[in-house]
Structure 1
């Protein structure tokens, strides 16, 4: 007779984007579906992007939350959680943390609620009004959950300084399926530098273009992917024309679906962000054997683990020098750096290890 699996309910603010929290939830469910029955409750909506993940679940729900209907959503959430009576509820992102904690108030036998924070607080003043409000409310509710999982060491430190108090707080980084990323030891001629990130203030696009402008006379090709990374985006077009870049050397590829193949097409990965929590792209690139040059934001330094290729944020001159430093390495040195990049990810960021940390935390 087959023993019933334990149910884990995941409450996420929105299961429709392609952010780090969403991707980590999808990977965690795929890795642990043999051990648990998963239920996903998205406060806003779900997306076909995660259809294969949703099909792995016992059930899933989208509550169409829009802020105005918060009370209605809280009662619906309370009803669903009472219906499933899970031992543990894992929340993902601020608003899910808040609404789940409120929905469970007053229950005689509430489940163990674990918050998940996948956000950097390096620039609190620049956050949206919605996020600022969520932060204030979260600070007062932070003692309520059994524990809080942060995706980055920097995020844990920042939130504690902001006033989040919960003695059972830990860092569990985002993990990757190593089999999805093959070691790339190929060296391209000319050198190909890759960048991946949607057009957003946090991603540091002005500094990306400044860096490329400083290298436009070098035999280097840049491949830029991400939603909005196109000349159809007026802001990107303005930057492109301002620095008189060559379309043959700066390839704007917009959003793509096959990131593993993208990593195979580049030699080194560049991240110019001015704020991050846990930058998944660095882990994916390094899992592919692609060395990374990054600004010192979030847990970038912890992931890259090579100070020679970590530059302070907004420093296009430093990014230029780091790229040239890699460019001037010998072929053997470049290949050795590729192999070491993959080894670092195998040791610290495999989905097997990460999933085990989640399971252990749920047992606290």
Structure 2
């Protein structure tokens, strides 16, 4: 089978890292190529190592030359001759839907809600993808939450297949250190990720937990970013930032190394999340997860007291404080639960196999064994 993956960019993000994970775990008898609509990005090295070949169309993020992008993608399709074209993220979905090809086409839904905080163009493209979804042979949700089902229905998506939740590389052994006193956040700089709530919640418990710190990683999550500095100030956490108890650490292409130093991963997203890859990665490392109840994130939480209401500073502060009061042995017990769940649910080879089985089924339906 020849499979052409299409994605919007090659920067660090859950969808992009999922593609690298899938490619590393795919059936060796197949041929995989990745087409990136934009140019090389911060995850390019990992993607290029995972796929047989990666092609960059080279368009800027501000380009509105949709038909030019479609023609460029069509040239890649002709050159590669895929049996299946599978797209990820709405901009790539739009181009894939419009591109002429007799190959089976699928798209994977990585988000389950958009709001006014999202760019107007992104919202418009999502609506267009919904209208054009008849041009796909299958729409694959990456989560099984009611909010994902509702969002797919709102967009008018057709030919929806059973969900395939994200997986992640599970290391040979957990790396969790119960003596750590560092909360971790791995999320890009975007209102959906709830950094404002995260900073405010940590600031609220900082005096009661003086040994604890918060380290936030992600594209745009650094000291030089005006929005991040403003969020810290609004949370009344400028002194914590100055003291190093809140650290804005920027992007990382090595989440496994980062997770080794974490006491817990905090997912503070307000909406939109489906099944974030970092939750599976944390579980594989044996790092307990504190998360808002959005999408399928509840699956990452092993004690209901660590599942919090979205966009609720009080509730997140409650969960953070409760976790700081646990003993090392109690945190170690949560780590064992997280690691066991990862071994049972997040094997990337099993996730890749489910995608491949879906593609094989669609090829059979199309009379293309």
Which residue of structure 2 aligns with residue 173 of structure 1? 165
Q: CA deviation at 1:185?
A: 4.2
Q: CA deviation at 1:48?
A: 6.1
Which residue of structure 1 aligns with residue 365 of structure 2? none
Kept in 1, the 8 Å contact 2:202–2:320? The answer is no
1:298-318 alpha-carbon deviations (Å, 9 max, x no partner): 221133254221111121111
Which residue of structure 2 aligns with residue 335 of structure 1? 332
Which secondary structure does the structure 2 equivalent of 1:223 belong to? strand
Q: CA deviation at 1:20?
A: 1.2
1:211-264 alpha-carbon deviations (Å, 9 max, x no partner): 111112123222222233333333333444533533242233233343222212
Which residue of structure 2 aligns with residue 313 of structure 1? 310
Which residue of structure 1 aligns with residue 68 of structure 2? 72
Which residue of structure 1 aligns with residue 45 of structure 2? 51
Which residue among 74, 92, 96 is the counterpart of 1:96? 92
Kept in 1, the 8 Å contact 2:176–2:261? The answer is no
Where do residues 220-259 of structure 1 align in structure 2 (5 Å cutoff)? 220-241=212-233, 242-246=236-240, 247-259=243-255
Which residue among 263, 272, 275 is the counterpart of 2:259? 263
Change (3 A) 1:226 1:160: closer
Q: Does 1:9 align with 2:4?
A: yes
Cα distance in 2 for residues equivalent to 1:42 and 1:63: 6
Which residue among 192, 201, 216 is the counterpart of 1:202? 192
TM-score, normalization: structure 2? 0.87
TM-score, normalization: structure 1? 0.88
Q: CA deviation at 1:114?
A: 0.9
Change (3 A) 1:291 1:59: closer
Where do residues 86-235 of structure 1 align in structure 2 (5 Å cutoff)? 86-104=82-100, 110-121=102-113, 123-154=114-145, 156-179=148-171, 182-188=173-179, 191-217=181-207, 218-219=209-210, 220-235=212-227
- Structure 1 runs of 4+ aligned residues shifted over 4 Å read none
1:83-105 alpha-carbon deviations (Å, 9 max, x no partner): 4332111111222222222222x
Cα distance in 1 for residues equivalent to 2:46 and 2:189: 27
Which residue of structure 2 aligns with residue 82 of structure 1? 78
Cα distance in 2 for residues equivalent to 1:286 and 1:237: 30
1:67-95 alpha-carbon deviations (Å, 9 max, x no partner): 44322332232233234332111111222
Kept in 1, the 8 Å contact 2:12–2:253? The answer is no
Which secondary structure does the structure 1 equivalent of 2:262 belong to? coil
Q: CA deviation at 1:210?
A: 1.0
Aligned residues: 351
Kept in 1, the 8 Å contact 2:112–2:295? The answer is yes
Kept in 2, the 8 Å contact 1:156–1:171? The answer is no
Change (3 A) 1:234 1:182: farther
Change (3 A) 1:182 1:254: farther
Query: Which residues of structure 1 form unaligned runs of 5+?
Result: 1-5
Which residue of structure 1 aligns with residue 56 of structure 2? 62
Kept in 1, the 8 Å contact 2:112–2:152? The answer is no
Q: CA deviation at 1:33?
A: 5.8
Where do residues 352-363 of structure 1 align in structure 2 (5 Å cutoff)? 352-363=349-360
Kept in 1, the 8 Å contact 2:139–2:157? The answer is no
Which secondary structure does the structure 2 equivalent of 1:126 belong to? coil
